[in-house]
Amino acid sequence: MTEADKTETAAPDEWKDAEAITGIALGGSHSQGEEIVFGLPTAGGRRWFKLKQEMLVELLHTLRSYGEIAAKARSGVEIKTADEIKAPYRARAMPRFGRSRDGSTVAVQFLTQEGIPVAVAMPRKLAGEFADALKAQVKQAAKPVQG
């Protein structure tokens, strides 16, 4: 079992010593934008953290997944692994597209209603297959569901 697979029912002993966050973070950019520094207020005082800028989106995605685990636990839905987390980000605008200079990679970035931009890069062949599959799904979505 990986760390990401652990839920409240499989909480490690260290979790019992976790500090409760009592407020919203303060912080900002550091090292000419290379790092993000933020403080989280706790009963024991403010705890400061820093991370490389490129890790921010990963942290936000991970925290969002933990939030979904908590919501499902509160509703009584059992979660066995982190792979069961299925909270999609919702696009709020036409995505931005880009490609590598050599044309081998295509990228798409969605601005989301959740406020976190989601970017995906893939080999050109996979991007073509994805575009075909997406077009087929859009066509299927236009048909009413019988049932």
pLDDT per residue of the chain (147 residues) written in tens, 0 to 9? 344 444 445 567 788 888 888 888 889 998 998 999 999 998 888 989 999 988 888 888 888 888 877 887 788 877 666 556 566 788 999 999 999 999 999 999 999 887 778 889 999 999 999 999 999 989 988 887 776
Token pair 């705890």 in the structure block, residue: 47
Contact by Cβ (8 Å): 75, 92: no
Q: How many whole angstroms separate alpha carbon 134 and alpha carbon 132?
A: 5
Which pair of tokens denotes residue 95? 């995505």
Closest CA to 96 of 130, 62, 64, 120: 120
The C-alpha atoms of residue 39 and residue 37 are separated, in whole angstroms, by: 7
E strand spans, the chain? 26-30, 35-42, 45-52, 96-99, 105-110, 118-123
